[in-house]
Structure 1
Amino acid sequence: MKKHGILNSEIAKVLADLGHMDKIAIGDAGLPVPDGVKKIDLALTLSEPSFLSVLKVVLSDMKVEKVVLAEEIKQQNAVQLAAVEAALTEDEVVTYVSHEDFKSQLKDVKAVIRTGEATPYSNIILQSGVLF
């Protein structure tokens, strides 16, 4: 049994397989996952697990160089945005796109991790960096 890190075998495998500039997404319960994109469904009930709790665990195990968020989070979910910003370090470049553009970018991610989050625009794309 693993002693440290992410226990979910699907998430651990996806993260281990990432190369520089590969992307994954973490989404709320309603985020549509494009056909052909791997969905790792963690949702148990509405709000469980939360988007933020999953994001923090993934960030602890993944080198991220770029983050994509929907522009709408600024007005529609400022509390969640503040929590996301607090979870990030100054190393990640944050970009904002329309929610429609965000959804279109999902076709290029290696996997979408679905949470039980039930607040609007609680979705993020994480682009892998390198450790060296």
Structure 2
Amino acid sequence: MKKHGMINRDIAAALAAFGHTDLLVIADCGLPIPKGIQCIDLSYRIGEPSFLTVLQAVLEDFQAEAGFIAREITEENPEVESGILEQVNAAYITHDELKKMSKEAKLIIRTGEATPYANIVLRSGVIF
């Protein structure tokens, strides 16, 4: 049995298959999931698990070279924005651009988060 890091076997397997520049989306429960994109749905009730909890757990096991968040988060959800910026150096894009980027993702992890614009696109980096 795995002792450290991501213990969700579906997420661990998916992350192991990532290469440099592949895209990973961590999403709130309202973000549309594009057809044909693998989605691991962790939600089990409104708000659970939270976006920031999942983001932290993923970043402990995933090398991100860049992050992208919707600029609308600044007005609509500053608490989650602050939590994101504590963990990731993120660039701002529009929410529509974020949804377009999600169509290129290798994986979307859906959380139970039910606050506005609690989504991020992470671009995979390299560990060397």
Normalised by the shorter chain, which TM-score bucket? over 0.9
Corresponding residue for 2:113? Answer: 117
Gaps of 5+ in 1: none
Q: Secondary structure at the match of 2:117?
A: coil
Q: Measure, in 2, the Cα distance between the counterparts of 1:67 and 1:87.
A: 10
> 1:34-88 CA distances to partner (integer Å, 9 max, x unpaired)?
0000010000000000000000000000111010100100111111100111122
CA RMSD of aligned residues (A): 0.8
* TM-score (ref. length: structure 2): 0.97
Matched pairs, number: 128
1:106 deviates by: 0.7
Q: Secondary structure at the match of 2:81?
A: helix
Q: Measure, in 2, the Cα distance between the counterparts of 1:25 and 1:55.
A: 10
Q: Measure, in 1, the Cα distance between the counterparts of 2:6 and 2:44.
A: 18
Runs of 4+ in 1 over 6 A off after TM superposition: none
Q: Measure, in 1, the Cα distance between the counterparts of 2:64 and 2:86.
A: 15
The counterpart of 2:124, out of the listed 113, 118, 128, is 128
Corresponding residue for 1:96? Answer: 92
Matches of residues 1-132 of structure 1 in structure 2 within 5 Å? Answer: 1-88=1-88, 92=89, 94-132=90-128
Q: Measure, in 2, the Cα distance between the counterparts of 1:102 and 1:23.
A: 11
Q: Secondary structure at the match of 1:108?
A: coil
* TM-score (ref. length: structure 1): 0.94
Gaps of 5+ in 2: none
